[in-house]
Amino acid sequence: MALIPASLRTRLVVGVFSFFAMWGFALSITRYSIPEEMEEGSFVANLATDLGLDIRSLEERKAKLDVIHSKNYLDINKDTGELVIREKIDRESICMTKTTSCFLKMDVILSSPVRIFNIELEIMDINDNAPVFRRKTMHLDISEATLPGERFSLTNAVDADVGANSIKTYYLSESKYFNIDIQTGSDGSKYVDLVLSGNLDREEHAVHDLILTAVDGGVPPRSGTASIIINVLDINDNAPIFSQPVYAVNVSENSAAGTVVMTLNATDLDEGTNAQLVYSHTLYTSEKTQELFSLDPNSGEIKVKGVIDYEESQSFEMHIQAQDRGTNPLSGHCKVTVFVTDLNDNYPEVTIKSLKSSLTEDVSVGTLIAVVSVSDRDSGANGEVELSLNRQETLPFRLSKSSEGYFEMLVSKPLDREVISKYDIILRVTDKGVPPLSENETITLEILDINDNAPTFSQSFYTIHVMENNPPGALLTSLSAFDPDLNENQYLVYFIMEKEIVNTSMSMLFSINPENGDLYALKTFDYERERDFLFHIEARDSGVPPLSTNCTVHIIILDQNDNTPLIVSPWRAQGSVVEEVIPRSTDKGHLVAKVIAIDADSEQNARVTYQLLQISDSTLFSLDQYNGEIRTTRMFSYRDPRQQRLVIVAKDNGQPSLSATVTIKISTVEHAMAFSETTELPLDYDMFTDLNLYLVIGLGAVSFLLLITILVIIVLKCQKPKPKAIKIPPANRNSVISRNSVISQRSSTIADSTLISSDAYWYSLFLAETRKGKVVVRQPIIPKGAGYFVSSIPRSIGPSETTDSRASTLEYSK
């Protein structure tokens, strides 16, 4: 003590005094009880009232709460003096041990002067925790041979709550094989055992799924569950079983080695090695059978091992057992009967007994072609055969069964070599086995040609245009016919069917190459004399008898501008001048003369126009270019000369154009009477001139010839003799209109021909005009050399022998 300073000794004395004073103040303890899990701010107690303190002193004396060995779950409200919950209290986290009582100790400390109050707060348990199993799933392996009553320990559940809130009991899901036995420990804990209550059968129920539930005693109660999976262990308590005790199976003879006959399928309800099966023959299976068939010990597959012959044995029996691999093996048995099926292993045969290798296409239906026999060495359905023709095409043949195993092949339809010239006939013989076997035999039949097809032209009517003035021997066209026959039956010869036109044979006008049908012109044709020709060409084959056909050929001659216009009015002698006399008192527009020209050509080549080539006075006369009329354009004056000279040219419209000229000398006189050959008085007989006499004679001759022609035509049509071409007299050439009938020597056809002349209307031209009351008659004289032509008018076109033919009659009278 002497070593301690005075100041320090004073502090020690004060501290010791204060400790003993505070110990005295804390001797009294205040206890409270609250349930756990109260909400924050919940009221616990009024400390100011319970401790006898003034509420104001709590703040002044700096009251505080000191919790011993724990968190500060409480707080003092200094304004009200109340003790309130600061943080939720979990009894299980404060009191770890499974005790029924749980206290939370704390001190309330006041200063100035210091005073300590001891407070104990009892935390009461509530049922806030459910039972929990340490293992959620429990696995048990139990043999199906285990006896009932066997016990199996299970994992217990735990509950953090105490007292009545702890685990009260266990429940097991419904099961006819298991139940539970609940035991209570010395500390009150509940334990549960699983007890086997029935006989297990793995084959019936291999796995059992159970649910164990733990329930506490709280209000309301809480529970927890765990799953119990029980695997039933197998024992070899089931023998293998076949699906049926006896099997019947068919196998074909001559089956190849390795052919699967069947696969046995035995089942064992056990598992593992207890269900693994081994197949084997028993002593009841013969050695011969085992040599012919093999048995797989693992799969039970039966295969062919040897040669199976139906003729040696029709069936086999095998006794087979299936044994498992258990410790005490069990086995099952069955019988397999194998029936051997006869195979259709022989092909049918077809034999040709007689055959015609060729036939003419005109053979009659029903003609025998071949005799065929069929056979098959098999028996039953395998030996029954059918014979048929190839079905890919429709053949004109049929099979007829003549006797057992014999067939006749006959012609069933007319044959046509031009359609099919050769047949490859397939005879197919098929048995009725399964599968059927068949054999083919091919017969080649050639169809021989006969002359049964006439030649045919590509057209029945040919129209050929030929320009006149063609060179002789010119090729006009090539006519070809086709004959589908063969060899000499298709070799064709062409010729023109003979026919006369005005005593001229067609073969004199045209020629045809007999081999290729080329048609030639043998002469030069003149359009003004010959307009067209109509005849027949025949194509004939070389068959026996020969067949032929014909076509109609129409030759049309085309016009060329090869004729110069011919002036026929006013007529004058060759090289002479035409003289016309008119009075000088002629009025304007008076017709002086009319120039008429004709052209033997046709169409544009015959179209004539007129022009003044020379004229003395162009103001005195005019010429119409189309009709050739010459008229005065004014009256004559005393100054005009008495004679006028005009040169007129007549020109056609061809290319190139051709023309002719005429010179007219016009003389004028003072008095018209001096130049008039007639008067207004009636004509007396003594006034007949030579010109009038000629006209009367000509008209009479024409009328007589016309009458004769009509009579001849009537006689020809009644008697049908070969007509002769009628000659037209030169004197009557200008007015002949005739019809001619020509009969062909080969086809006896009749054609009507009509005489047409392009200048016929000029031949009786009368130009009349009245001049001061006098009649002047002028008769143009037709010069020699005028052309005539005859054009055919066909009645029909067909080349038939019974129809009217056409005739082109040409004649030019010199």
SS (H, E, C) 24-54: HHCCCEEEEEEECCCCCCCEEEEHHHHHCCC
Look over the chain and give the mean of its residue pLDDT values, rounded to a whole number: 78
372 has a pLDDT exceeding 90: yes
In this predicted structure, what is the pLDDT of residue 333? Answer: 93
Which tokens go with 801? 């022998």
Q: How far is CA 231 from CA 140, 179, 221, 276, 762, in A?
A: 6, 16, 32, 20, 142
Q: What is the DSSP string of 62-81?
A: T-EEEESSS---EEEETTTT
In this predicted structure, what is the pLDDT of residue 69? Answer: 64
Q: What are phi and psi of 321, to 5 degrees?
A: -120, 150
Left (φ > 0), alpha (ψ -120 to 50) or beta: where does 575 sit? left
- Cα Rg of the chain (Å, integer): 75
In this predicted structure, what is the pLDDT of residue 506? Answer: 86
The amino acid occupying position 23 is W
> Above pLDDT 70, what percent of the chain?
80
Reported as a single tens digit per residue, the pLDDT across 132-183 is 898 899 999 998 888 898 899 888 888 877 877 888 899 999 989 999 998 8
The amino acid occupying position 200 is L
In this predicted structure, what is the pLDDT of residue 391? Answer: 65
Higher-scoring residue by pLDDT: 336, 392 = 336
In this predicted structure, what is the pLDDT of residue 814? Answer: 32
Higher-scoring residue by pLDDT: 722, 529 = 529
Question: Cβ of 814: how many Cβ atoms within 10 Å?
Answer: 6
Element (H, E) at 742: strand 739-743
In this predicted structure, what is the pLDDT of residue 279? Answer: 94
* CA dist., res. 443 & res. 409, Å (int): 11
706 has a pLDDT exceeding 70: yes
Question: Cβ of 616: how many Cβ atoms within 10 Å?
Answer: 15
Reported as a single tens digit per residue, the pLDDT across 296-319 is 999 999 999 998 887 688 899 999
* CA dist., res. 784 & res. 678, Å (int): 29
Higher-scoring residue by pLDDT: 778, 229 = 229
Reported as a single tens digit per residue, the pLDDT across 7-57 is 433 333 333 333 333 434 444 678 888 888 788 878 888 887 888 887 888
Judged by DSSP in three states, 531 sits in: coil
Reported as a single tens digit per residue, the pLDDT across 110-133 is 888 888 888 888 888 788 888 989
Which tokens go with 323? 């044994």
Judged by DSSP in three states, 508 sits in: helix
702 has a pLDDT exceeding 50: yes
Q: How far is CA 186 from CA 88, 130, 191, in A?
A: 33, 22, 11
* CA dist., res. 532 & res. 527, Å (int): 8
87 has a pLDDT exceeding 50: yes
399 has a pLDDT exceeding 80: yes
Is 247 within 8 Å of 339 (Cβ atoms)? no
- The CA angle 120-123-126, to the nearest 5 degrees, is 165
Q: 385-408 burial, b for 16+ CB within 10 Å, e for fewer?
A: bebebeeeeebbbebeeeeeeebb
Reported as a single tens digit per residue, the pLDDT across 403-416 is 888 999 999 999 99
Q: Are strands 103-110 and 64-67 parallel, antiparallel or unpaired?
A: antiparallel
* CA dist., res. 2 & res. 418, Å (int): 165
Placement of tokens 């001797």 in the chain: 27
63 has a pLDDT exceeding 70: yes
Question: Cβ of 331: how many Cβ atoms within 10 Å?
Answer: 16
In this predicted structure, what is the pLDDT of residue 689? Answer: 53
Burial (CB < 10 A; 0-12, 13-18, 19+), residue 767, is middle
Left (φ > 0), alpha (ψ -120 to 50) or beta: where does 797 sit? alpha
CB neighbours of 794 closer than 8 A, spacing ≥ 6? 534, 751, 804, 806
* Residue 3 binned pLDDT confidence (cut-offs 50, 70, 90): very low
Judged by DSSP in three states, 117 sits in: strand
Which of 202-216, 263-277, 548-562, 771-785 has the weakest average pLDDT?
771-785
693 has a pLDDT exceeding 50: yes
In this predicted structure, what is the pLDDT of residue 456? Answer: 93
Instruction: Give the residue-averaged pLDDT of 631-641.
Output: 87
492 has a pLDDT exceeding 90: yes
> In this structure, which long-range contacts are made by residues 391-399, counting pairs with CB atoms below 8 Å and at least 24 apart in sequence?
395/423, 395/425, 397/369, 397/423, 397/425, 399/372
Of 137, 301, 323, 106, nearest in space to 230 by CA: 137
Sheet holding 461-467, edge to edge: 461-467, 548-558, 532-541, 492-496
Reported as a single tens digit per residue, the pLDDT across 455-478 is 999 999 999 999 988 999 999 999
Instruction: Give the residue-averaged pLDDT of 748-753.
Output: 29
> Above pLDDT 90, what percent of the chain?
26
Of 542, 553, 546, 545, nearest in space to 496 by CA: 553
Which of 235-239, 661-665, 682-686 has the weakest average pLDDT?
682-686
In this predicted structure, what is the pLDDT of residue 755? Answer: 29
Please give the span between the terminal C-alpha atoms of the chain, in angstroms, as a whole number.
202
In this predicted structure, what is the pLDDT of residue 158? Answer: 85
106 has a pLDDT exceeding 60: yes
* CA dist., res. 350 & res. 387, Å (int): 9
* CA dist., res. 495 & res. 507, Å (int): 9
Which tokens go with 137? 């799933």
* CA dist., res. 765 & res. 122, Å (int): 171
**Dihedral sign, CA of 378, 381, 387, 389?**
negative
